[in-house]
Amino acid sequence: MPIGSEYRNFLLYYGVFVLEGILPTDYLIHFGFLSASIRLLSKDCITPDDLTTADRLLGKFYFLHKELYGLENCTMNVHVTSHHLVSCVRLAGPLWATSTFPMESNLGQLVKMIRGSRNVGFEMVCAFLDMQKSKLMTTETDSKHVFQKLSSDIHVPSRRRTVIVPGAIRQALLEAGLPINPLAKVITFTSIKLNGERFYSAESPRVTKRCSYYVETEYGIAKILRFMQLSAQDINVYAVTHDVEVNGIPGYYRSAAKAIQDFGESLQVISCGVQSITLPDPLCAVRIIPVKKIKHKLMLLSVDQKNVVCSLPNQWELD
C-alpha cells in the first residue's frame, strides 16, 4: 500500500507524466491545476503573486471537479483544499511548515530515547540533554572541523581517490584555463557538501530519486560526473559535468496547450518550471566548473523514454 511520501511525490512531481495517455485531456488538466497550486504553496518563499495564482488554480480545480466528477463527489476535503488552503498559507506559512512529515520524524527520534517503561518523560529529557551536550563537546574539540566551517562553505568527504587525469578531462581543464601536467594525478570524490546541502555525482552509490546528479548552474542544466581537486593543497573544488540539452516545456503541456489556454491559464504557470531534456551522450565533451557555480539540485523524472527535470520547491524536499 502506498505511503504518504509516495502520494506527495506523485502529486508534486511525476503524477502528470504518469497519467498522460491514461486520463483524458480535461481530467489531466484538472489534476495539473491541483499539482501546480500545491507546488506554489510549498515553496520556501511565497510571493503575493504566487498566492493569487494558486487561489485562481484551486478555484478552477473546484469548478472542474463538479463538471467532471459530479457534485456528489465534491466532498469536504475538496471544499477545504479549494477554498481555504490559500488562506491557511497566508496565516501559517508554506504547506511544509505545517506538514506532519517533520513532526513524525521528530517523534521517531524521541521514541529512540526511551529505554524503559518508567519515568518516560524524565528519561527523554535526560537523553536529549546528553545528545545536545555531546554535540557541543564535539564541536568544541574538533578544531579541524571548526577551521573548515570558518574558512569555507565547501566540505569534501574523507573518502577520496587519487587518479591520473583522463585525456578528456585534461582537455576540459585546458579549456577552463587550468593547465595540468599530463602525468599529474588529481583527487576525486563522489559527493560534496556545499552551503550545508549535499550534492552527488553520477559515481555516487547513494543517489536517490530526489537527490539526483542533475543540477542547474550559471551555465545551464548539467549532469555531474564527479568532483575533484587538482592537488591536496588546492582549496578549490571543481565539478566534471556534461551539458544537458533543454527542449523546453514537456510534451504533456504542449499537447494540452489549447485546452489549458481555454481555461485562461498559461503553460508557464501550469508547468511550474518543469523542463524537458535530452540525456547527454556519455561520449560528449565534458566541462569543468567551480562548484560555487552550482545553483541548486534538480530532480530527474524518466517516464516512457521521456525525460524531464524540475526544481525542488523547498528545503524539506532536498534530502
For residue 118, the model assigns a pLDDT of: 75
**Which DSSP letter does residue 251 get?**
H
Q: How far apart are CA 251 and CA 25, in angstroms?
A: 12
Whether pLDDT at 287 is above 80: yes
CA distance 98 to 88: 10
User: Helix axis angle, 76-92 relative to 48-69, nearest 10°?
Assistant: 180
Between 192 and 128, where is the model more confident? 192
pLDDT in tens, 179-211: 777 667 888 888 888 877 788 888 887 666 555
Compute CA distances 270 → 133, 287, 293, whole Å.
Answer: 48, 33, 29
Could you give the C-alpha distances from 159 to 236, 264, 312, in angstroms and in order?
17, 54, 28
Q: What percent of the chain has pLDDT over 90?
A: 13
Alpha carbon distance 205, 166 (integer Å): 22
Q: Return all residues near 151 (Cβ < 8 A) that are at least 6 apart.
A: none
